[in-house]
Amino acid sequence: MEKSKILYAEDDKTIAFLIEDSLESYYEIEHYGDGKSALEAFNSKDFDICLLDIMMPEMNGFDLAEQIRSKNSEIPIIFISAKALKEDRIKGLKIGADDYLVKPFSIEELILKIEIFLKRSKKTESSAPKYTVGKYNFDPKNYTLQNSEKTVTLTQRESELLLYFIRHKNSVLKRQDILKAIWGDDDYFMGRSLDVFISRLRKVLATEENIVIENIHGIGFRFSEK
């Protein structure tokens, strides 16, 4: 069976060696020591997932993620960084990352994250159900919102969140229920992550006047179509 291919950008040689040594039995992993060479590799090769440090020479991880996301809105991006400030983690998610692990972390946790995203990103040829969202046709298998004028490609997290909202349309949804359904966790950081992804969905659906993602104070949210 062909191994999934990981783009790994990390300037710390010791950490890079440990992670490569731990993952190479499961995946094909290509390591690059700076953001510029990692971007060049991304532009010339096919990868299934990206693991990005933030503090790197030539190009930092935030800029690298923005470049990757501008070229591919579907590939999973996980930041792995020693930068533990809430502001850094929120910035990473706003750029378009799917997750953010703070060093030090366990290899088991990293592999679990990788497997979750690889499993979710596998496309199928089956006739998966599609949904109508305002004037858009939503295809959750391919993460796309399409109307007569344009096609918008969502990230995995955005697509999962929108699908959850659609399946519970017009219902008041508790924050902790959404978090556990999408992230499997409801801690403080995941709560802030949810706010970021809801803001991203609102921006995508801003032209749809009939679609409302309503804040229900002290409880959660309600997705409705007028």
- Mind listing the pLDDT tens digit for each residue in 186-198? 665 677 788 889 9
pLDDT of residue 128: 53
Give yes or no for residue 125 having a pLDDT over 60.
no
Pairing relation of β-strands 172-174 and 131-133?
unpaired
Most confident of 24-28, 103-107, 220-224: 220-224
Q: Bridge partners of 81?
A: 102
Sequence-ordered list of residues with C-beta below 8 angstroms from that of 220, at least 6 positions apart, any chain: 172, 173, 174, 175, 176, 177, 178
Contact 77, 70 (CB under 8 A): no
Angle between helices 188-204 and 175-182 (to 10 degrees): 90
Q: What is the pTM of this model?
A: 0.63
Q: Read off the pLDDT band of 131 (50, 70, 90).
A: confident
Alpha helices in the chain (DSSP H): 13-23, 35-44, 61-71, 86-95, 107-121, 156-167, 175-182, 188-204
